[in-house]
Amino acid sequence: MNADGRTRLHQTPEWAALVKHREQLGEVRLREMFAADPGRGTGWTLRVGDLHVDYSKHLVTDETLALLQELAAATGVSGLRDAMFRGERINITEDRAVLHTALRAPRDAVIEVDGENVVPKVHAVLDKMAGFADRVRSGEWTGHTGRRIRNVVNIGIGGSDLGPAMAYEALRAFTDRSLTLRFVSNVDGADLHEAVRDLDPAETLFIIASKTFTTIETITNATSARSWLLDGLGGDEKAVAKHFVALSTNAEKVSGFGIDTANMFEFWDWVGGRYSFDSAIGLSLMIAIGPDRFREMLDGFHLVDEHFRTAPAESNVPLLMGLLGVWYGSFLGAQSHAVLPYSHYLSKFTAYLQQLDMESNGKSVDREGKPVQWQTGPVVWGTPGTNGQHAYYQLIHQGTKLIPADFIGFARPVDELSEELKAQHDLLMANFFAQTQALAFGKTPDEVRAEGVPEELVPHKTFRGDHPTTTILARELTPSVLGQLVALYEHKVFVQGAIWNIDSFDQWGVELGKVLAKRVEPALTEGADVPGLDPSTGALVAAYRELRGRR
């Protein structure tokens, strides 16, 4: 019990029941569970939209799931969810509503923030984006010299980069192949250099994406991009208006930078950075895939929003995925969670989820500001599956760590592949299924012996199994399916934050480094004294100056 009379999470009877259940359950053997319930493979699956979700290979029983559902009920997950959808200020430390779900609501929906229906504003910006995207795609929008735009460079970082960059890769097969899209995020000058070195400034549009328009990496890169453009076009400042647009909530800073606010696409403080690529932040993506495909993606998001909002607890997929993560992290000691897409197009999906999940749930005080006494968000990691198989899967199969994993795969390759390349898809997916099978059921010592393996090698060739996985399978990776997948993970993260009683929508943990970087920079450039610099960092700064040829 807190001083304020609230029972804390780890003191609730529902938590205690799970701790006890964990002890009583002992070792969970998936082979035994499937033997006892052969229907598990077909019965333990759910459907949301186009996503077929199999959770049969998890280290849980019916009782585990029931107890987890009781924990969700006791911690008020559905109440917080409804408050989010209603536009209440559930981001308590920033006193903001959390309404990314309004970004994909249909035109006739009504969602109020402080008594104002925000849906018309959302659609007005989407319409403005669509008008602009069409003009760029058709060639009607030209650069300063009258040439058609052929290159689009998005400059942004974190949520203003990862979402559109990931979705552009994911939906490449739906993009206008005559346009080149690049994404610049790193303040390392090499990033911008490599992005523009083969581009013609007369044909290049820069999209400066920053919610706050104060992020130092983005503003620095945007300033350098402006110099590159003006150098290439003879220095006429008027060129900026035709080659720079901004995506932001901060009109004042945008115009202070020199971008006409007529060329600004707005969003609002109730859209978190890592939840923003379906807002104006998606403009580069919309230019690449066109407004209609973008709308299909938003409809995919909305479909899962509605599922999360209305589906009963037992068949609510984001709720279930969130609960399974709580089980592994808080009760079985898992520290990380792998997301392994078997699709080259999803090569940036896990990197995108890292921000979504780790910036949201990487917290160690609860909503009341008290230190948590339970594990919160996992380390999220992974790369496309077959590549991972030849790198780190060894550790998942035979290492000492418990690593729950999500396997994401598709039944059909994209249409534009040649017949020969399409035929490779079955091999890709054979690996997909084989891995989850091997992870779950392993290979017993007797099975190894039966292959004639010498006794001394048997332990080395034995696979314990019982590595839990969720399999998410869809027909093909379309804009709608991508929207569904992202919304699924957004709400999974929400569920976990709600149970752990943390604010999943702030990110104070990134502030300190930003402040210190500003303080340290003059020491690197001018050798200025940094008040309070610790001895270790001070010595490193001195070594840097020497190596850089500055004394």
Ligand X SMILES: O=P(O)(O)OC[C@H]1O[C@](O)(CO)[C@@H](O)[C@@H]1O
| Residue ranges that bind ligand X, judged by CB under 6 A | 157-160, 210-212, 215, 218, 273-274, 359, 507, 510
DSSP codes of every residue in 312-332: -GGG-HHHHHHHHHHIIIIIS
Q: Which is nearer to ligand X, 222 or 239 (CB)?
A: 222
Pairing of strands 469-474, 405-410: parallel
Residue nearer to ligand X on the CB measure, 157 or 320: 157
Say which residues have a Cβ less than 8 Å from residue 4's Cβ, sequence separation at least 6.
Answer: 368
Say whether 390 is catalytic. Answer: yes
Instruction: Indicate the residue among 281 and 495 with the shorter CB distance to ligand X.
Output: 281
- Chain centroid to CA 100: how far? 14
In this structure, the number of other CB atoms found within 10 A of the CB of residue 238 comes to 8
The burial class, CB within 10 Å (0-12 / 13-18 / 19+), for 328 is: buried
Give, as one character, the DSSP assignment of residue 96.
B
Beta bridge partners of 338: 381, 405
CB of 122 to ligand X, least distance (A): 18
Residue nearest to ligand X (CB): 273
Which is closer to ligand X, CB of 277 or CB of 331? 277
Contact predicate 211/202, CB 8 Å: no
Pick the closer one to ligand X by CB: 305 or 359. 359
Q: Are 359 and 510 in contact (CB under 8 A)?
A: yes
Nearer to ligand X (CB atom), residue 91 or residue 470: 91
Q: Is 410 helix (H, G, I), strand (E, B) or coil?
A: strand
Q: Which is nearer to ligand X, 280 or 334 (CB)?
A: 280
Catalytic residue among 23, 27, 238, 390: 390
- Cα separation of 121 and 261, whole Å? 16
Min dist. Cβ of residue 394 to ligand X (A): 33
Q: Which two tokens stand for residue 547?
A: 């190596």
Q: What distance in Å separates the CA atoms of residue 471 and residue 324, rounded to the nearest whole number?
A: 13
Q: Closer to ligand X at the Cβ: 82 or 252?
A: 252
Distance of closest approach, residue 216 Cβ to ligand X, in angstroms: 9
- The single-letter code of the amino acid at 307 is H
Are 339 and 83 in contact, with CB atoms under 8 Å apart? no
Distance CA(198)–CA(18), nearest Å, equals 58
- Least gap, CB of 250 to ligand X (angstroms): 8
Pick 275 or 441: Cβ nearer ligand X = 275
Token pair of 416 as six digits: 């534009």
Residues 6+ apart with CB under 8 A from 546: none
Cross-strand bridge partners of residue 52 = 47, 473
- Residue 514 appears among annotated catalytic residues: yes
Q: Please say whether the beta carbons of 141 and 130 come within 8 A.
A: no
Copy the structure tokens of residue 320.
């279930």
Q: How many CA atoms lie within 13 A of 506 on its CB side?
A: 19
Catalytic residue among 10, 193, 514, 518: 514
Question: What whole-number distance in Å separates Cα of residue 280 and Cα of residue 125?
Answer: 7
Residues 6+ apart with CB under 8 A from 291: 126, 129, 130, 133, 134
Of the residues 359, 363, 467, 491, only one is catalytic, namely 359
Cβ proximity to ligand X, 254 vs 495, nearer residue:
254
Strand intervals (E) in 417-498: 469-474
Contacts of 541 (CB under 8 A, 6+ apart): 520, 523, 524, 530, 533
Are the beta carbons of 377 and 361 closer than 8 angstroms?
Answer: yes
Least distance between ligand X and beta carbon 247 (Å): 8
Min. distance of Cβ 158 from ligand X in angstroms? 3
Q: In the complex, what is the shortest distance from the CB of residue 210 to ligand X, in angstroms, rounded to a whole number?
A: 3
CB of 186 to ligand X, least distance (A): 13
Catalytic residue check, 359? yes
- Rounded to 5°, the CA angle 157-162-165 comes to 110
Cα 339 from Cα 503, distance rounded (Å): 23
Residues with catalytic roles: 359, 390, 514
